Chain A
Amino acid sequence: MPAERLARQSAPKALGAPPEPLVLIATDRGRQIIRACCPAAEAEGLHPGLALADARAVLPGVRVAAHDPAGDAACLDWLADGATRWSPMAAAAPPHGLVIDISGCAHLFGGEASLVADVLTRLHRLGFTASHALAATAAAAMALARFGQTRVSDLPLAALSDQEPVQIALRRAGLKRVGEVAKLPRAAVAARFGEALLAALDALTETAPQPLDPRVAVAEIVAQQRFAQPIATTDAVLATLEKLLLRCAVQLGARGQGGRLFCLALYRADGHVAHVAVETAEPQRDSAVLLRLFDERIAALNDPLDPGFGYDLVRLAVPVTHSLDETQLGLEGGQLAETQLAELVDRLTARLGRGRIRRLARADTHIPEQASFDLPLAGSAPSQWPTPAPGEPPARPIRLFDPPQPIEVLAEVPDGPPRRFRWRRQVHDVTAHEGPERIAAEWWRRKDGAGLTRDYWRVEAADGRRFWLFRHGLYDREPCPPRWYLHGLFA
Chain B
Amino acid sequence: MPSVARLVPPVSARVPAAAGRVALDGGRVDSALGGGLLLAGCHEIYGPGSTALALMLALASVRSGPILWLAAPRDDDGRLYGAGLVELGGDPGRLWLVAAGAALPMLRAAAEAQRCAALACLVIEAGSASAVDLTVTRRLQLAAAASGVFTLLLRAGPPKPSAALTRWQARAAPARRLVANVPGPPRLALTLERQRGGPADLNLELEWDRDRRRFLPANTIAQPAIPIGAAFGRHASPVGRVPAVVARRTPRPAISAQSTWRAA
Q: Using CB atoms and an 8 Å cutoff, list the residues of chain A in contact with chain B.
A: 281-282, 334, 336-338, 340-345, 347-348, 351-352, 356-362, 368, 371-372, 374, 377-383, 385-402, 406, 408-417, 419, 431-437, 458-460, 462-466, 471, 475-476, 481-484, 488-491
CB-based contact B251/A399 at 8 Å: no
Q: Smallest CB-CB separation from A458: which chain B residue?
A: B183
Cα–Cα, bound, A343→B115 (Å): 11
**Bound-state Cα–Cα, A484 to B256, Å:** 7
CB contacts (< 8 Å) of A379 on chain B: these are 1
* A459 CB to nearest B CB, Å: 8
In the assembled complex, B19 has its CB within 8 A of some CB on chain A? no
- Do A410 and B113 touch across chains, with their CB atoms under 8 A apart? no
What total of A-B pairs shows CB separation below 8 Å? 270
Interfacial chain B residues near A483, Cβ < 8 Å: 256-257
Q: Contact size class for B?
A: 35 or more
Q: Which of B166-218 contact A (CB under 8 A)?
A: 171-175, 177-178, 181-189, 208, 210-211
Q: How far is the CA of A435 from the CA of B95 in the complex (A)?
A: 29
| Given A341-B65, A382-B7, A394 contacting B263 (CB threshold 8 A) | no
The answer to whether A432 touches B183, judged by C-beta atoms less than 8 angstroms apart, is yes
Cβ of A382 and Cβ of B86 under 8 Å apart?
Answer: no
Task: Check B5–A358 contact: CB distance below 8 A.
Answer: no
The reply to whether A360 and B95 form a contact with Cβ atoms under 8 Å apart is yes
What are 27 A-B interface contacts by the 8 Å CB criterion? A338-B4, A338-B118, A344-B119, A345-B4, A358-B97, A359-B95, A360-B82, A360-B97, A362-B92, A372-B81, A372-B83, A374-B97, A378-B1, A379-B1, A399-B80, A411-B253, A413-B253, A413-B254, A416-B251, A431-B174, A433-B243, A434-B242, A435-B241, A465-B48, A482-B257, A483-B257, A488-B81
Which chain A residues lie closer than 8 Å to B86 at the CB level?
385-388, 396
CA distance A362 to B79 in the complex (A): 14
Q: Complex: how many Å from CA A463 to CA B188?
A: 11
> Closest residue to B55 on the A side, CB-wise?
A398
CA distance A187 to B84 in the complex (A): 76
In the complex, what residues of B have CB within 8 A of residue A417's CB? 243
Given A344-B112, A411-B253, A491-B172, A434 and B81 contact (CB-CB distance below 8 Å): no
Q: Which residue of A has the minimal Cβ distance to B5?
A: A338
Asked if A380 contacts B116 (CB within 8 A), the reply is no
Chain A at the B interface: SS class: mixed
Q: Name the distance in Å between B203's Cβ and chain A's nearest Cβ.
A: 14
Chain B residues near A396 (CB, 8 Å)?
Answer: 81, 83-84, 86-87
**Inside 8 A of A393's CB, which chain B residues have their CB?**
175, 178, 182-186
Which residues from chain A contact B109 at a C-beta distance below 8 Å?
348, 351-352
Contacts of A476 in B (CB 8 A): 248, 263
B26: interface (CB < 8 Å): no
Q: Which of B93, B186, B253, B263 contacts A419 (CB 8 A)?
A: B253
Partner of A342, one of B4, B254, B258: B4
- B233-264 vs A, Cβ < 8 Å mask (1 yes, 0 no): 11000001111011110011111111000110
Residue pair A281, B4 in contact (C-beta under 8 Å): yes
Distance, CA A463 to CA B183, complexed state (A): 13
Complex contact B51–A357 (CB within 8 A)? no
CB < 8 Å neighbour of A398 from B81, B256, B257: B81
- Taking CB atoms and an 8 Å cut-off, the chain B residues in 85-117 that contact chain A are 85-89, 91-93, 95-101, 105, 108-109, 112-113, 115-117
Contact of B186 among A402, A414, A490 (CB under 8 A): A490
